[in-house]
């Protein structure tokens, strides 16, 4: 069957929502909001308020939907800030360990990586990223060291995307990835590798303003069985991220700041159903445990 639906006007979209039982007291304000937020983007937030696709539950107002949308936007911003802290830490720890053990330019040689690592593909993409980068520190390095063809790792690692960084970590010899994991975060390298992979996925969601609330994770992190606070936690829901953050945000003040901001956000939006995000009854105990 071919798609044959014509595009609708913003006013038609408002009228359609009304016809499905959604309470809209201020049509002009609703029209303004729908004209700046794609109808299809909003549709994911209708779910808890619908009996079926064509009928909203009684007493459901469009204000409730926009409130949920606003909550998700704030949650996404909070998560993105935590991801920045973790990503910067990972760049620093990996570059420090690898360059001290093998040298500043060893990353260009596949011999320092695991046998199955697709070094050529990773290194080629990194070179492309360096070539198109407009960062002043790259120009300054090659101007001062005109006989060098490569950047030292502690500079090159700042050009890598988070995805390239994740790929690099998975390509390390196991003894190296395990040393970084255990020494810096106190966890197994397989767990850390899995967590980084998930965080890259989450970062992409945040960067594209995608829905966080009620999302089932497409890339699930491994569950560390030895950590008690993970018992009974779903690794397909957003709450597991906060346990990852707790472990990977290594500066206590930064973790406390994130945790307090999370608690404040959830208190301000205590009408939001956070069970859909994987929060259990004892979730506060989980993030407060040592």
Domain boundaries, the chain: 10-60, 69-288
Helices H, strands E: what count in the chain?
Answer: 13, 2
CB atoms within 10 A of CB 252: 8
Computed on alpha carbons and rounded to an integer, the radius of gyration of the chain in Å comes to 23
CA angle 150, 200, 75 (to 5 degrees): 135
Q: What integer pLDDT is reported at residue 290 of this predicted model?
A: 63
Q: What is the pLDDT of residue 141?
A: 94
CA-CA distance, 193 to 259, in Å (whole number)?
24
DSSP secondary-structure letter at 172?
B
The parts of the chain modelled with pLDDT lower than 50 are: none
Q: What pLDDT is recorded for position 289?
A: 80
The confidence score (pLDDT) of residue 226 equals: 83
Give the predicted TM-score (pTM) of the model.
0.93
pLDDT of residue 228: 86
């Amino acid at each position: 069957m071919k798609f044959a639906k014509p595009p609708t006007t913003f006013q038609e979209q408002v009228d359609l929502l009304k016809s499905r039982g959604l309470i809209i007291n201020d049509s002009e304000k609703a029209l303004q909001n729908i004209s700046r937020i794609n109808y299809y983007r909003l549709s994911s937030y209708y779910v808890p308020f619908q009996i079926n696709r064509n009928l909203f539950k009684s007493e459901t107002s469009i204000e409730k939907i926009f409130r949920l949308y606003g909550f998700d936007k704030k949650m996404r911003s909070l998560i993105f800030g935590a991801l920045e802290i973790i990503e910067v830490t990972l760049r620093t720890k990996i570059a420090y360990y690898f360059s001290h053990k093998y040298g500043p330019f060893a990353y260009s040689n596949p011999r320092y990586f695991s046998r199955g690592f697709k070094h050529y593909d990773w290194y080629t993409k990194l070179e492309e990223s360096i070539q198109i980068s407009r960062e002043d520190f790259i120009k300054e390095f090659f101007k001062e060291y005109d006989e060098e063809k490569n950047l030292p790792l502690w500079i090159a690692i700042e050009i890598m995307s988070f995805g390239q960084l994740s790929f690099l970590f998975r390509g390390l010899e196991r003894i190296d990835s395990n040393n970084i994991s255990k020494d810096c975060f106190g966890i197994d390298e397989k767990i850390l590798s899995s967590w980084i992979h998930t965080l890259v996925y989450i970062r992409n969601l945040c960067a594209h303003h995608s829905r966080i609330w009620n999302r089932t994770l497409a890339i699930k992190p491994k569950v560390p069985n030895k950590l008690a606070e993970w018992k009974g936690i779903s690794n397909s829901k957003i709450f597991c991220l906060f346990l990852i953050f707790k472990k990977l945000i290594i500066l206590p003040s930064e973790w406390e700041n994130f945790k307090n901001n999370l608690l404040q956000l959830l208190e301000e939006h205590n009408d939001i159903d956070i069970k859909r995000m994987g929060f259990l009854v004892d979730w506060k105990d989980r993030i407060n445990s040592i």
